[in-house]
Amino acid sequence: MTDAADLAPIREAVRSLCADFPGEYWRRLDRERAYPTEFVAALTKAGFLAALIPEQYGGSGLTMTAAAAIMEEIQASGCNGAPCHAQMYTMGTLLRHGSAAQKERYLPGIARGELRLQAFGVTEPTSGTDTLSLRTTAVRDGDHYVINGQKIWTSRAEHSDLMLLLARTTPREQAKSRTAGLSVFLVDMRQARTNGLTIRPIRTMMNHATTEVFFENMRVPAENLIGNEGEGFRYILSGMNAERILIAAECIGDAKWFIDKAASYARDRVVFGRPIGQNQGVQFPIARAYIGMRAAELMVREAAALYEAGKDCGAEANMAKHLAAEASWAAADMCVQTHGGFGFAEEFDIERKFRETRLYTVAPISTNLILSYIAEHVLGLPRSY
Ligand SMILES: Cc1cc2nc3c(=O)[nH]c(=O)nc-3n(C[C@H](O)[C@H](O)[C@H](O)COP(=O)(O)OP(=O)(O)OC[C@H]3O[C@@H](n4cnc5c(N)ncnc54)[C@H](O)[C@@H]3O)c2cc1C
């Protein structure tokens, strides 16, 4: 399903659901730094978060293009997909690399909304972007692994039943290769909370439900290891293209929201006896933001099409995320400028969306790391780190 006409009903259904969650809802949560439980429940009930789970496990079995359209529409409606976007892509690691028993055990529950797989524990405070230097260890002890260490920026950990966790199972110096020795676990956080897991919320500039998590002799059944021990880095990488494409689609939705808001305000706001949008100094930044958004949108579509055709889309997914994050941030800045003082007023929602969309040039991967990926893997330049 790739053409616009096929996706129109999905887009319409998402918009109609989002209409029940207007600006006041998000403003209240933002003030309280509270989790949008009702919004996430509504998306789950409607099946949108199970878009990429195959039908045999109770999901909708939709394409990446359709999933991207869902995330885009959420953002374009003024809502925020960040409290739940991981549920869409994190399960891909389980789907592609989990055993038949693991998939049967978890995917139908996730699809029905009974199990939340929202937490993704990769980043650590000391190693940051240098994932291969992470320090959390998982040591085999009989039919369990014992996990010790710390993660940071583990978003939604307080609102998730399961966490996909990357930990080192072979000391770096003993690993077969630079990328070997890391493993992926599906951690049942409901059990772990009384078994060595501590979660501490981190308050951020936007309402993001992010946390730091600590593992102290946390025991995870060996049957929760995903795939083969030591190959976890590859499994996590294989899920990153989906993550990049979906977050890029969210940025496109944000950009559309900012551009709509700005164009509408510029048409209506009269200063010096004429609409401000009659001034080219106001028009041009809106037009520029629109052009940037449309160009980024093409790359998102190309990346999604390659992904669903089973082709390598590493470069396109990275470029899509980069262009879309830049486009949404440029549109956010333009929107504030177009609104003048009102761009800063809470009730216009612009300052909230401005703070929310700022994240995406940093996470899930920062601009520099994308540029270095393209430099090295596409342009053949020497590896810089
Ligand atoms: C709100 C929020 C939510 C997040 N959610 C999650 C989550 O759910 N799960 C998870 O695992 N992680 C999550 N992250 C982590 C996020 O993916 C990282 O913050 C991001 O990848 C950047 O890593 P870092 O913060 O460690 O920065 P660092 O690696 O410390 O880098 C700092 C800066 O230096 C630059 N830099 C570093 N090395 C180089 C180099 N060799 N060349 C050029 N520039 C370089 C980076 O680009 C960056 O700008 C989240 C982060 C935030 C802020």
One-character DSSP codes across 172-188: GGGSSSTT-SEEEEEEE
Residue 105 alpha carbon to ligand 1 centre in Å: 32
- The answer, yes or no, to whether residue 3 has pLDDT greater than 80, is no
237 is written with which tokens? 């990488």
For the residues of 259-306, what is the DSSP string, one character each? HHHHHHHHHH-EETTEEGGGSHHHHHHHHHHHHHHHHHHHHHHHHHHH
Judged against a pLDDT cut of 80, whether residue 5 lies above it is answered with no
Asked if pLDDT for residue 197 goes beyond 90, the answer is: yes
3-class DSSP state of 24: helix
Averaged pLDDT, 92-112: 96
Q: How do strand 270-271 and strand 274-275 relate by DSSP bridges?
A: antiparallel
Instruction: Name the active-site residue from 243, 250, 308, 351.
Output: 243
Q: Are 131 and 175 in contact (CB under 8 A)?
A: no
Ligand 1: distance of its center to the CA of 13 in Å?
34
Give the single-character DSSP code of 62. Answer: -
173-189 residue pLDDT tens: 999 999 999 999 999 99
Task: Determine which of 85-99, 220-234, 366-380 has the lowest per-residue pLDDT on average.
Answer: 85-99
- What number of helices (H) and strands (E) belong to the chain? 12, 10
Instruction: Name the DSSP letter for residue 327.
Output: H
Average pLDDT over residues 323-348: 98
pLDDT confidence tier of residue 1, bands split at 50, 70 and 90: very low
Residue 347 is among the residues annotated as catalytic for this protein: no
In the reported structure, the alpha carbon of residue 118 is separated from the centroid of ligand 1 by a whole-number distance in angstroms of: 19
CB-based contacts of 176, cutoff 8 Å, min separation 6: 230
> Does residue 4 surpass a pLDDT of 90?
no
For ligand 1, say whether the CB of 383 is within 6 Å of any of its atoms: no
Atom 34, ligand 1: residue with shortest CA distance: 368
Expressed in angstroms and rounded, the spacing between residue 358 Cα and the centre of ligand 1 is 13
Tens digits of residue pLDDT in 277-296: 999 999 999 999 999 999 99
Test site for ligand 1: of 366, 367, 371, 372, most ligand atoms within 8 A of the Cβ? 366
Rounded to the nearest integer, the mean pLDDT of the chain is: 96
Q: Give 202's strand partners.
A: 210
Query: Which atom number of ligand 1 is nearest to the Cα of residue 129?
Result: 29
Summarised one tens digit per residue, pLDDT across range 9-59 is 999 999 999 999 999 999 999 999 999 999 999 999 999 999 999 999 999
pTM: 0.97
